[in-house]
């Protein structure tokens, strides 16, 4: 039996999803990246290997996320796709009439506009932390509570205080000020949720019409306070998929299944035991001084990327690390 593997490697978390021929999710993994995407994917593949029976063959692999080019080389992926495409495909799979997709992860956030099953516009925030999951994580630590506790207590906020959410630094000082004034913790927590929602919409909504149905994906969609804040702000219901944190990986798997390659380039689950080395250098061949990333295995260069031209893109077979 053939299955299809999607891998979504972000700066905070790594997600893997396995779909069968009927496009049903048969196995998935969610684990922290912890600054080492290769090791995270290798650990994810080990877990996938344990979950698969011996008669199952991986018919295709697709990768997405911020480390997609790196992991594409490591795994021998058949497809390397951007996150916007993968999240849109997965949202359409589970809600075919979706018109708007919210995606908030640990370090970035995305807004995708879909009309008649086609992405017509999108925006990404990869700069400001105040509109991402790390904002809530940091504030939860300040309040000496887990992110799960913050999610629950936000629902008890009856008179939320207004927190300056345009910047993480300002939000933190504003939160401390509100604590010193004696506001209830629940009202402060829900105020933080509202601040994140305002920041997200202010940064990404400009020039875009948000229409229902709306699907909310990414790990932050598990936060009940954020969902409530979105629904109050937009005055409409928000749909949360069954596995919101792995929707990028599911979308990647759907795309490689659709491609229907007769033979996959996947290197196999043996990559979990391989040793890879990553490095970088500055190209001196023109005034751009591009930083070139390089990945090697057993002293041989596998791939390079990062330049404005393709000087380093083609690696001669058998080239050794300098």
Over residues 19-27, the mean pLDDT reads 95
pLDDT for position 130:
58
pLDDT higher than 80, residue 61: yes
Instruction: Give the number of C-alpha atoms closer than 13 A to the C-alpha of residue 145, restricted to the C-beta side.
Output: 15
Gap between the Cα atoms of 112 and 217, Å rounded: 11
Helix (H) / strand (E) element for 148: namely helix 147-154
pLDDT for position 255:
97
Least confident residue range of 111-115, 208-212, 275-279, 318-322: 318-322
3-class DSSP assignment, residue 229: helix
Over residues 137-162, the mean pLDDT reads 85
pLDDT for position 321:
79
pLDDT for position 40:
95
Q: Which CATH number fits domain 97-240: 3.30.420.40, 3.40.1110.10, 3.10.20.90, 1.20.120.330?
A: 3.30.420.40
Residue 202's pLDDT band (boundaries 50, 70, 90)? confident
Residue 129's pLDDT band (boundaries 50, 70, 90)? low
Residue 3's pLDDT band (boundaries 50, 70, 90)? very high
pLDDT for position 230:
95
Torsion-angle region of 306 (φ positive above 0: left; ψ -120 to 50: alpha; else: beta): left
Over residues 239-251, the mean pLDDT reads 95
- 47: exposed, middle or buried (C-beta count within 10 Å: 0-12, 13-18, 19+)? middle
pLDDT higher than 70, residue 187: yes
pLDDT higher than 90, residue 98: yes
pLDDT higher than 90, residue 320: no
In Å, the largest CA–CA distance within the chain is: 67
Give the CATH architecture of domain 2-87+249-273.
Answer: 2-Layer Sandwich (3.30)
pLDDT for position 166:
65
More confident residue, 92 or 160: 92
Gap between the Cα atoms of 127 and 123, Å rounded: 12
Contact by Cβ (8 Å): 190, 154:
yes
**Going by C-beta distance under 8 Å and a sequence separation of 6 or more, which residues neighbour residue 229?**
190, 193, 194, 196, 197
Mean pLDDT, all residues of the chain: 89
pLDDT higher than 70, residue 176: yes
Dihedral of the CA atoms 150, 155, 157, 161 (nearest 10)? Answer: 70
pLDDT for position 169:
64
Residue 128's pLDDT band (boundaries 50, 70, 90)? low
CA angle 314, 316, 320 (to 5 degrees): 115
pLDDT higher than 80, residue 132: no
Q: Within the chain, which residue ranges are assigned CATH 3.30.420.40?
A: 2-87+249-273, 97-240
pLDDT for position 307:
87
Residue 56's pLDDT band (boundaries 50, 70, 90)? confident
pLDDT higher than 70, residue 283: yes
Gap between the Cα atoms of 90 and 103, Å rounded: 12
Which residues in the chain belong to E strands, given as ranges? 2-9, 13-19, 25-32, 57-64, 79-80, 100-104, 109-115, 118-125, 214-217, 238-239, 277-282, 291-297, 300-305
pLDDT for position 153:
87
Over residues 98-119, the mean pLDDT reads 92
Tokens of 54: 């011996």
Over residues 182-205, the mean pLDDT reads 88
Residue 140's pLDDT band (boundaries 50, 70, 90)? confident
């Amino acid at each position: 039996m053939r299955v299809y593997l999607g891998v979504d490697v972000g700066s905070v978390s790594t997600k893997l999803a396995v779909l069968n021929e009927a496009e049903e999710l048969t196995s998935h993994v969610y684990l922290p990246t912890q600054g080492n995407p290769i090791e995270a994917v290798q650990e994810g593949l080990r877990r996938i290997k344990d979950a698969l029976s011996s008669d199952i063959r991986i018919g295709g692999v697709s990768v997405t996320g911020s480390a997609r080019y790196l992991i594409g080389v490591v795994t021998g992926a058949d497809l390397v796709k951007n996150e916007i495409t993968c999240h849109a495909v997965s949202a359409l799979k589970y809600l075919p009439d979706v018109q708007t997709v919210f995606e908030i992860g640990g370090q970035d956030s995305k807004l995708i506009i879909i009309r008649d099953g086609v992405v017509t516009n999108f925006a990404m925030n990869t700069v400001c932390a105040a509109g991402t999951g790390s904002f809530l994580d940091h504030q939860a630590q300040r309040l000496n509570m887990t992110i799960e506790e913050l999610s629950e207590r936000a629902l008890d906020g009856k008179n939320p205080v207004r927190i300056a959410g345009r910047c993480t630094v300002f939000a933190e000082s504003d939160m401390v000020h509100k604590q010193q004034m004696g506001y209830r913790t629940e009202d402060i927590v829900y105020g933080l949720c509202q601040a994140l929602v305002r920041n997200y919409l202010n940064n990404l909504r400009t020039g875009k019409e948000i229409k229902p149905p709306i699907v909310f994906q990414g790990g932050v969609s598990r936060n009940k306070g954020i969902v409530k804040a979105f629904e109050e702000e937009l005055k409409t219901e928000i749909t949360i998929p069954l596995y919101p944190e792995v929707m990028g990986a599911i979308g990647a798997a759907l795309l490689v299944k659709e491609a229907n390659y007769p033979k996959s380039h996947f290197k196999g689950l043996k990559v979990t035991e391989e040793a890879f080395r990553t490095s970088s250098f500055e190209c001196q061949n023109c005034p751009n001084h591009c930083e070139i990333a390089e990945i090697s295995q057993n002293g041989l260069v596998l791939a390079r990327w990062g330049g404005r031209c393709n000087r380093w893109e083609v690696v001669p077979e058998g080239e050794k690390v300098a």
